[in-house]
Each structure stands twice: as structure tokens, then as C-alpha cells.
């Protein structure tokens, strides 16, 4: 009897990993059960002893911590990402660039939760860089941590956080991962704004292999077929950082 692999994966990987794991199982006959969530909270579950064979994190810090503690057998980078800004498309936001929108105190600014979710950590890194250039911009003070935490909002299945939060009037702006842009680019009610490379944090995704059984799946993710699913979902490839 083939043992089901337990995969813990950052929520941002859902659009890539659901079809990826289905294809992997079809090719190998190895079933995979995936649990998605904020990577920081998934790491806490692993450290608490919850069974997991492979952990796909949206950063390197969590896999590296598991490696240092001896819980991970190995770690390996498998994808890259960027941040972008999604804004409600109204007359007050139609002509401003990304930095002007962030600096506008009249606009509510939503984020994920630092510490619990790497998206929040990357966002805080962006804020720290901007606050060095614009000392009074006050982004951390204004930011509303809407998702990715222990007691934050739950985005409905199949919805993209930035679009859902803005459309349900929780915020006017949201900093999130840029790979969602391709799914939102034709939205008439939203503006999707790039953040320049000079300001954009380096979002590196990494695998932590926690059992020998997971090595086949880890190898599949970093190989050509797995990378194809990630590229189709909007992630930057390993050779395109």
C-alpha cells in the first residue's frame, strides 16, 4: 500500500500546487494530501509534531530553521516571487503611481501578517526601505493586518485576497504577491501596479524535506514539469530571479 505524502504549502502556492500534485500522483501513483496556510503557522504545526513529509514555504527562514533544528533532512529553493500593489479603481486612485497611493493617508492599506506569513514579512521589509527614503510616510502605523494571522479574516476558497478584500470594502489598497496579477489583469474595478525592482523585496520560496519518502515529490517540483506549473501560475522560475 502506497503511503500518502503529507505536504504543507504556503497559501500563495495553491494555484500551482493543486494541479502539480494531481499530475505528480497521476504519473507516480503516489497520493499527496496538501494543507495550505501561512507558512509561519505551518512551521509551528511541524515543530509541534504534526505529521508532514514536505514543507513548501514562501521564504527561506522557516525551512532553514527546521534544518537547523534537525527536523528537515534538506532544503532547496524552488521558485521566486515579487510584491505588487492592488488598488481600488476610483477617481481618487486612477492617476497616482504606486508610491503616491501608498503615501495617501486617506486610503486604507491592507497587508498580510508579519511573523505568521512571509507575505507580511516581505511587506514590512518594503515598508522599512521606503521609510528610510520618506521618513514621514508611516506605512507600518497605517497598515491593517487583514489576513495571514491567527485571528485574521479567512478569504473564501477560490478567491484572491487582494481582490476579495477590496471588493468587500475591508481596504482600498493591498500589498501582496505579484504572481496573482495575471488572474486580475482584466478586472475593471482594480488597478494592479508593479513595484520597481529597486524597492521590491526578493521573495524566495524554499522546500524543506522532512522524510525520505518526500524526496521524489521535491525532485518533481524543481524539475521541468513542476516548474511549468509554477510558471503557469505566475511564479518566477529558478533561473529567472
Residues facing 194 on adjacent strands: 84
118: phi > 0 → left, psi -120 to 50 → alpha, else beta; which?
alpha
What value does the CA radius of gyration of the chain take, rounded to a whole number of Å? Answer: 18
Per-residue tens of pLDDT for the chain, all 241 residues: 569 999 999 999 999 999 999 999 999 999 999 999 999 999 999 999 999 999 999 999 999 999 999 999 999 999 999 999 999 999 989 999 999 999 999 999 999 999 999 999 999 999 999 999 988 899 999 999 999 999 999 999 999 999 999 999 999 999 999 999 999 989 999 999 999 999 999 999 999 999 999 999 999 999 999 999 999 999 998 875 4
Question: What is the b/e burial string over 144-171, where b = at least 16 CB atoms within 10 angstroms of the residue's CB?
Answer: ebbbbbeebbebeeeebbbbbbbeeebb
Burial of 71: CB neighbours in 10 Å, binned 0-12, 13-18, 19+? middle
pLDDT at position 240 is 58
Cell for 86?
A: 492592488
Burial-class residue 33 by CB neighbours within 10 Å (0-12, 13-18, 19+): exposed
pLDDT of residue 1: 59
CA 112 to chain centre: 10
Q: Which class in CATH covers the domain with range 83-194?
A: alpha beta
pTM for the model: 0.95
pLDDT of residue 26: 98
Q: How far is it, in rounded angstroms, from Cα 65 to Cα 60?
A: 9
CATH superfamily name and code, 5-80+204-240: Periplasmic binding protein-like II (3.40.190.10)
- Beta-bridged to residue 207, according to DSSP, are 56, 76
What are the backbone dihedrals phi and psi of residue 79, each rounded to the nearest 5 degrees, phi first? -165, 165
> What is the reported pLDDT for 135?
85
Q: Where in the chain is the domain with CATH 3.40.190.10?
A: 5-80+204-240, 83-194
Separation CA 173–CA 193 (nearest Å):
11
Residue 125 confidence (pLDDT): 98
Helix (H) or strand (E) holding 112: strand 109-112
Amino acid at each position: 500500500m502506497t503511503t500518502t505524502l503529507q505536504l504543507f504549502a504556503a497559501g500563495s502556492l495553491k494555484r500551482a500546487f493543486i494541479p502539480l500534485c494531481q499530475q505528480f500522483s497521476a504519473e507516480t501513483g503516489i497520493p499527496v494530501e496538501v494543507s495550505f496556510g501561512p507558512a509561519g503557522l505551518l512551521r509551528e504545526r511541524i515543530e509541534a509534531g504534526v505529521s508532514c513529509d514536505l514543507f513548501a514555504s514562501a521564504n527561506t527562514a522557516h525551512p532553514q530553521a527546521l534544518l537547523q533544528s534537525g527536523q528537515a533532512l534538506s532544503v532547496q529553493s524552488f521558485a521566486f516571487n515579487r510584491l505588487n500593489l492592488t488598488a481600488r479603481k476610483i477617481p481618487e486612485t486612477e492617476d497616482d503611481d504606486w508610491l503616491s497611493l501608498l503615501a495617501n493617508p486617506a486610503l486604507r492599506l491592507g497587508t498580510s501578517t508579519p511573523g505568521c506569513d512571509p507575505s507580511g514579512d516581505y511587506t514590512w521589509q518594503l515598508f522599512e526601505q521606503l521609510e528610510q527614503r520618506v521618513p514621514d510616510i508611516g506605512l507600518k502605523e497605517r497598515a491593517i493586518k487583514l489576513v495571514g494571522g491567527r485571528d485574521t479574516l479567512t478569504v473564501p476558497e477560490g478567491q484572491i485576497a487582494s481582490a476579495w478584500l477590496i471588493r468587500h470594502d475591508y481596504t482600498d489598497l493591498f500589498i501582496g504577491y505579484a504572481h496573482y496579477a495575471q488572474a486580475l489583469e482584466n478586472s475593471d474595478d482594480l488597478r494592479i501596479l508593479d513595484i520597481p525592482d529597486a524597492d521590491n523585496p526578493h521573495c524566495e520560496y524554499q522546500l524543506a524535506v522532512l522524510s525520505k519518502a518526500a524526496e521524489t515529490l521535491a525532485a518533481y517540483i524543481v524539475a521541468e514539469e513542476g516548474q511549468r506549473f509554477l510558471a503557469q501560475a505566475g511564479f518566477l522560475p529558478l533561473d529567472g530571479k
